[in-house]
Chains A and B, each alone.
Chain A
Amino acid sequence: MSLILIAEQILNGLQSGIMLFLMAAGLTLIFGVMGLINLAHGSLYMVGAFCAAAVAAATGSFALGLVAALAGAAAAGALIELVVIRRLYDRDHLDQVLATFALILVFSEGTRWVFGSFPLYLDVPAALSGPVTLPGGIEYPLYRLTLILAGLAVAAGLFWLIARTRIGIQIRAGENDREMIAALGVDIDRLYTFIFALGAALAGLAGALVGAIQSVQVGMGEPVLILAFVTIVIGGIGSIKGALVGALLVGLTETLGSVFLPEVFKLFMAPAAATQTGASLSSMAIYILMAGVLLWRPTGLFGARA
């Protein structure tokens, strides 16, 4: 187990964590401000990937594909907020879960209806393909490195938006007391639609960025959705800072666990049994992490104190 391999795995963990953050940020904003559990967030991730694949195939430009992913997912988000979600704010969480689960089915079958059942082709742009050599002799895919930087840039932009702009003040106020900001003359309906579309656009961006190195197919959003929920529970529901820290923790735990746990077990077990046990335990690792965090801080790392 060389140092280069360890460094490469840490970069891999950071990369998957930062993409998870894009998903989790929207989810935690929507839950924090509107008190809504949105299971259909994974479908918006899928919509982003499909928009990017379709536009990139038609125009040959990955950048235009990304723009289409942002626009398509934001539009889908705004549409479902206006048509479906708006009616759910006053209902209890079970109704929200049922309705947004139905949206998953609608989006999945709708996408299949439009694009068919076969996975779509979406590839990394030529300028970003291939590996680069980092200081210390680490050979790392340029595209993954770009993902880390792009994700950090989006995170910085989001913190600036929340902390420094008028709309950010309204979002924070909405989290604390929605009746009060409505009474102060903020158009709360428009604010909610904006936040929902923003969260959807982030999910769509993540879908398009990750879709280029994974498979663009129906149902691609649900596994990520589960991880995103784990992330916001670890980070504290409603906290963007919590989502960032939680996402990095989950990404690193998952990546490093799947590589190093089998190695650790090999120190005192037969190789075949060690591989088995290590693989099984590494799939549990993030849930063990979540349980540990919740024991220590029941509202998550950065959650509001009850």
Chain B
Amino acid sequence: MKFRTLALGGALCAALAGMASAEVKVGMITTLSGGGAGLGIDVRDGFMLAIEQSGRTDIEVVIEDDQRKPDVAVQLADKLVQSEKVDVLTGIIWSNLAMAVVPSVTAQGKFYLSPNAGPSQLAGRGCNKNYFNVAWQNDAFNEAAGAWASENGIGKVFLMAPNYPAGKDMIAGFKRFFKGEVSEEVYTKLGQTDYAAEIAQVKASDADMVYYFLPGGMGISFMKQYAGSGAEKPVMGPAFSFDQGILGAIGEAALGVKNTAHWSKDLDVPGNAEFVESFVAKYDRLPSLYAAQGFDTGLLLVSAAEKADVSDADAFRAALEAADIQSVRGAFKFGANHHPIQTIYMREVVKEGDVVTNRIIGTAATDHTDAYGADCKM
């Protein structure tokens, strides 16, 4: 599957208008088919909305589907760099795919703006001056959740995540800031759909709370089964376990669940309400945090393209570092390792009319930065 947005004659129009902006070519590699397609589609739609609203017709975006497969993503990156000759790459959802693609494209002098994945390796030793993470470092939401749980008197937790690197990162992030006791730590199979056995363990344990990272279909299955099991321990997780796409499928079983995120559709900052409204108008569904990240990535690209010519790499990089954007998350700036320094909120799942969605109930961490920046030498 291949989507192309061609802005034909854009450069000509710009020249006629007498503006100094040059053409920018963007390659987007994201997941548009298979189990995790909802995430990639949200990032793509958010990103394209920002480009469209900027009114710039000289930004050309080539969109490719990685099918959530690292080998496909690597081939697409080679194709985009070598035959499409893109200036900037973006779009990857999954950490394992990002690890396969990002080091090679940044080494070739291309810019990479990450709208989702934030593996610890790329924040620390493997950081690169051309790599910018617009979303978060993997551990961030979990660190904030750990801090919040400690402050709110949670003594013992039951931790659960899939048995793969990102799952272990998330659990490690939670434990880094959690001062209480871990009663059990369970790693499930990636893609597991039946959690009856784990739920029975939760019920038998002495934990005060369950904390889990189960993105996509895994989170849907777990929450539905948990709600029907008679287990009554409160549930918490990073927002990936409770994003808008997941909540629609879980329904009321998720009401009252707490989760940490850097964004929510009710976040009261300039530009956010307009973003939510225009997203709903264009795509006829509520934006998820993935859509918000895609939108911010689009804003960042546009802001840099306004300030500098992409062929002047140093100037373009400086323009990206300045991050002169009205983010839908509010204040936004990059740390020295090009990862965001941002506030993380605690959200709660509520019902608004017929729609199950998230609402902010407090702040979990202010101006949070990641734990790996010290290892980054650019």
A interface residues with partner B (beta carbon < 8 Å): 1-2, 4-5, 8-9, 12, 15-16, 108-109, 112, 117-121, 123-124, 129-131, 139, 141-144, 210, 212-220, 223, 255-256, 258-259, 262, 271-272, 275-276, 279-280, 283
Name the residue on B nearest A251 (C-beta).
Answer: B194
CB atoms of B163 and A141 under 8 A apart: no
In this complex, the member of B32, B35, B228, B285 whose beta carbon has the largest number of chain A beta carbons within 10 angstroms is B228
Contact of B249 among A119, A143, A258, A272 (CB under 8 A): A119
Query: Known contacts A123-B251, A213-B221; is A118 also within 8 Å of B189 by CB?
Result: no
Min CB–CB distance B175 → chain A (angstroms): 11
List chain A residues, Cβ under 8 A from B220. Answer: 119, 214-215, 217
Contact of B33 among A112, A131, A217, A223 (CB under 8 A): A112
Contact of B248 among A121, A210, A276 (CB under 8 A): A121
- Please measure, in the bound complex, the distance between the C-alpha atom of A216 and the C-alpha atom of B246, giving whole angstroms: 11
- Please measure, in the bound complex, the distance between the C-alpha atom of A122 and the C-alpha atom of B33, giving whole angstroms: 22
In this complex, the member of B197, B204, B230 whose beta carbon has the largest number of chain A beta carbons within 10 angstroms is B197
Specify the main secondary structure of chain A where it touches its partner: helix
List chain A residues, Cβ under 8 A from B200. Answer: 5, 8-9, 12, 259
Query: Known contacts A5-B200, A214-B220, A275-B186; is A131 also within 8 Å of B34 by CB?
Result: no
List chain B residues, Cβ under 8 A from A2. Answer: 204
Q: Mark B221-245, 1 if CB is under 8 A from A, else 0.
A: 1001100111000000000000001
CB atoms of A279 and B187 under 8 A apart: yes
List chain B residues, Cβ under 8 A from A121. Answer: 248-251
**Shortest 9 CB-CB contacts between residues of A and residues of B:** A131-B230, A215-B220, A215-B217, A12-B196, A117-B37, A119-B249, A214-B221, A214-B193, A5-B204
CB atoms of B253 and A123 under 8 A apart: yes
Name the residue on B nearest A280 (C-beta).
Answer: B163
List chain A residues, Cβ under 8 A from B245. Answer: 118-119
List chain A residues, Cβ under 8 A from B163. Answer: 279-280
CB atoms of B224 and A214 under 8 A apart: yes
CB atoms of A259 and B201 under 8 A apart: yes
Min CB–CB distance A123 → chain B (angstroms): 6
CB atoms of A124 and B196 under 8 A apart: no
- Please measure, in the bound complex, the distance between the C-alpha atom of A275 and the C-alpha atom of B33, giving whole angstroms: 33
Min CB–CB distance A53 → chain B (angstroms): 9
Name the residue on B nearest A259 (C-beta).
Answer: B197
Segment 36-78 of B: residues with Cβ below 8 Å from A: 37-38, 41
Name the residue on A nearest B249 (C-beta).
Answer: A119
CB atoms of B37 and A130 under 8 A apart: no
- Please measure, in the bound complex, the distance between the C-alpha atom of A123 and the C-alpha atom of B204, giving whole angstroms: 25
- Please measure, in the bound complex, the distance between the C-alpha atom of A213 and the C-alpha atom of B251, giving whole angstroms: 12
Could you list 29 A-B pairs, sorted by A, with CB under 8 Å? Answer: A2-B204, A5-B201, A5-B203, A108-B33, A117-B32, A117-B41, A118-B285, A121-B249, A121-B250, A123-B224, A123-B253, A129-B228, A130-B228, A130-B230, A142-B228, A143-B228, A214-B193, A215-B216, A215-B217, A215-B220, A216-B249, A218-B35, A223-B191, A258-B188, A258-B189, A259-B201, A272-B185, A275-B185, A275-B187
